[in-house]
Amino acid sequence: MARLPTQGRATIMRDSCFPEGSSMLDPVLLRAHLTETAARLKTRGFELPVAEIEALEADRKRLATETQELQAQRNARSKAIGQAKARGEDVAPIMAEVAGLGDKLKANEVALAEVQAKLSAIALGIPNLPDASTPVGKDETKNVEVARWGQPRTFDFAVKDHVELGARHGWLDGEAGAKLSGARFTVLRGQLARLHRALAQFMLDLHTGEHGYTECNVPLLVNADTMQGTGQLPKFEEDLFSTMKPYAFAAEHDTVVRQLASKEQIRGLIDACNGLPADAIFDPHGNDGVALDFALNKLGQIVESQRDRYLIPTAEVSLTNMVRDSIVEADALPIRVTAHTPCFRAEAGSYGKDVKGMIRQHQFEKVELVQIVEPSKSFEALEQLTSHAEKVLQKLELPYRKMALCTGDMGFSAAKTYDLEVWLPSQNTYREISSCSNCTDFQARRMQARWRNPATCKPELVHTLNGSGLAVGRCLIAVMENNQNADGSITVPAVLRPYMGGAIAIA
RNA sequence: GGAGGGAUGGCAGAGUGGUCGAAUGCACCGGACUUGAAAUCCGGCAGGGGCGCAAGCCCCUCGUGGGUUCAAAUCCCACUCCCUCCGCCA
């Protein structure tokens, strides 16, 4: 998959998104409470580069102050020139005063921008702080079971897994999926495909009809700003499928590089474009006389034009980012939205895990729940949102347990997460089917998503939550395995029968 | 894919190099008048960052990035998005 060059993200780094020296955590935490923040992050296995941040912060502060002073001087002088001209006076003396200012200011601005870029790069890679109620632990073995619902059924015959059950009538066809797309793709057919659809329909109807969510149909391809808003970029690009046009990029790129004058310039270019594939750049024969500045600028433009879209790994991305760069009125909260979408995941690093069947797919479907709430209500909302996901399993009569994830097992954006794990008879264990998280203000800060707090009349960051309600493919597996009969038929859960033309079982 | 037009504060909309972070109107908030409301009048009203006990001061932002200039909403280049027409298309 094509790797997105860092240059291509120029627009994401814009000031409106990342105010000076800001972090994706509250900037105060990195300035005034650095040691303490580092300790809290360490519980989730993240080493904060404390010394580096301190040094950069000191530089930033100094450069920012100096730059501002110079800017103030320049502005005052320029204004004076304007006024003098209006009065018809001679402006030469003032012009002389301002003479040396430009270069010094420029140098300061460049230095400041460099420091800020470094800080920003660090900040974007820092995960959210775990909430105090999140159990501390290194990995999933330290997750805490908080509830268990339903009794796993006992079978008086040898249970089959979903792959065996799906072999019937070509219901579940991994080979067809592999032929079309490769490993981790599946074709569903016939009654099983319909059951899959029934599950998604049922979930949507439940959440819109009984839980107060608004159904949405959202883009599956989104831009880089959006991916950054919810935390997928820049750190987890390898987990995403992208639609960048690498070949067009390389070809266009080559013609630019050929215009560069020297190897030194090209090396500088590689440094500047840190992250670009070097072999795409390094082609040092060509004409001279073209300024590096021009080439760099041109390069940035090319990269920008080749940057396309990313496939969403979850509808959380599209749903949550709907409030990006906006200020919502207090009476519009809470926002509760849901969508049924395909999800696309590269599954980098999961080689060998769950290779059989459709537990871990590059493409799967999910009904997602998202809430945008005022900060004081987000933990209450997490309990509620999780209960909405649980309701699906309860209505389907699938046994599950609810786990509070520990600090080391939580996702990047989450402050607190509950996983729901459904019972899978063939594996004689509980497997993840939903993950419900309170991201507090972490995503909101990345997105600049705010609400107007009536108490202060000021725009303040909202809190965002998301949860699967549920993963449709895994839910299908759970229904197949838990509801299987000795003859290989599958009993349709009562709540799904209206969606199955009244069928009691599929055979 | 081709041709043209556009992007300014919550909205509408002025502003073609200099006290413009930005007229005016609407909306909104506070006050006056009124028994109350409407109407009218007066005042306030973008976001982010820095300094300060505070009053306040300073910086940045007119789609985005770069350039020209002592000075850019205004001039130049590129990009993005929106609109209109033509072509193609589920």
- Per-residue pLDDT reduced to its tens digit, A473-488: 999 999 999 999 999 9
Closest nt to residue A28, judged CA to C1': B49
Structure tokens at A90: 């001679």
- Protein CA A353 to sugar C1' B65 (Å): 43
| Phi/psi of residue A161, nearest 5 degrees | -85, 175
Model pLDDT, residue A238: 85
User: What ipTM score was computed for the predicted complex, to two decimals?
Assistant: 0.84
Closest nt to residue A298, judged CA to C1': B78
Residue A478 and residue A498: Cα distance in Å, rounded? 19
- Which one is predicted more confidently, A123 or A42? A42
**Contact in structure between A378 and A334 (CB atoms under 8 Å):** no
pLDDT confidence tier of residue A150, bands split at 50, 70 and 90: very high
| B chain positions with any atom within 7 Å of a protein CB | 10, 18-19, 47-51, 58-61, 64-67, 70-71, 78-80
Model pLDDT, residue A96: 81
- Protein CA A267 to sugar C1' B38 (Å): 73
Structure tokens at A451: 């609400």
Complete DSSP assignment for A310-379: EE-SSHHHHHHGGGTTEEE-GGGPSEEEEEEEEEE---TT-TTSS-STTSS-SEEEEEEEEEEE-GGGHH
pLDDT tens digits for range A398-440: 999 999 999 999 999 999 999 999 999 999 999 999 999 999 9
Model pLDDT, residue A356: 84
Sheet holding A363-373, edge to edge: A144-149, A400-404, A416-424, A429-438, A463-471, A363-373, A335-344, A214-216
Residue A398 and residue A479: Cα distance in Å, rounded? 7
- Protein CA A16 to sugar C1' B66 (Å): 17
User: How many other C-beta atoms lie within 10 A of the C-beta of residue A235?
Assistant: 14
Closest nt to residue A450, judged CA to C1': B47
Given a cut of 80, whether residue A287 has pLDDT beyond it is no
Tell the residue number behind the tokens 């021009």, with chain if given.
A294
- Protein CA A287 to sugar C1' B68 (Å): 26
- Which one is predicted more confidently, A306 or A52? A52
User: How many other C-beta atoms lie within 10 A of the C-beta of residue A486?
Assistant: 11
pLDDT confidence tier of residue A298, bands split at 50, 70 and 90: low
pTM of the model: 0.86
Complete DSSP assignment for A413-439: T-SEEEEEEEEETTTTEEEEEEEEEE-
Q: Average pLDDT of A167-182?
A: 94
Across-strand partners of A476? Answer: none
Across-strand partners of A369? Answer: A338, A467
Burial class (CB in 10 A: 0-12, 13-18, 19+), A16: exposed
Measured CA to CA in angstroms, residue A449 lies from A147, A304, A381 at distances of 33, 25, 18
Write out residues whose CB is closer than 7 A to strand B: A 10-11, 14-16, 19-22, 27, 61, 64-65, 67-69, 71-72, 74-79, 81-83, 85-86, 95, 98, 101-102, 293, 297, 300-301, 304-305, 327, 450, 458-459
- Of A20, A341, A404, A367, residue with least CA distance to A202: A367
3-state secondary structure of A41: helix
Closest nt to residue A296, judged CA to C1': B66
Closest nt to residue A17, judged CA to C1': B48
- Protein CA A291 to sugar C1' B69 (Å): 21
Residue nearest to nucleotide B47 (CA to C1'): A16
3-state secondary structure of A394: helix
User: How many other C-beta atoms lie within 10 A of the C-beta of residue A174?
Assistant: 20
Tell the residue number behind the tokens 């089959």, with chain if given.
A160
**Contact in structure between A172 and A163 (CB atoms under 8 Å):** yes
- Protein CA A304 to sugar C1' B15 (Å): 32
Helix (H) or strand (E) holding A76: helix A50-86
Closest nt to residue A20, judged CA to C1': B49
**Sign of the alpha-carbon torsion through A31, A35, A39, A44:** positive
Given a cut of 90, whether residue A490 has pLDDT beyond it is yes
Q: Average pLDDT of A103-111?
A: 85
pLDDT confidence tier of residue A303, bands split at 50, 70 and 90: low
- Protein CA A226 to sugar C1' B7 (Å): 21
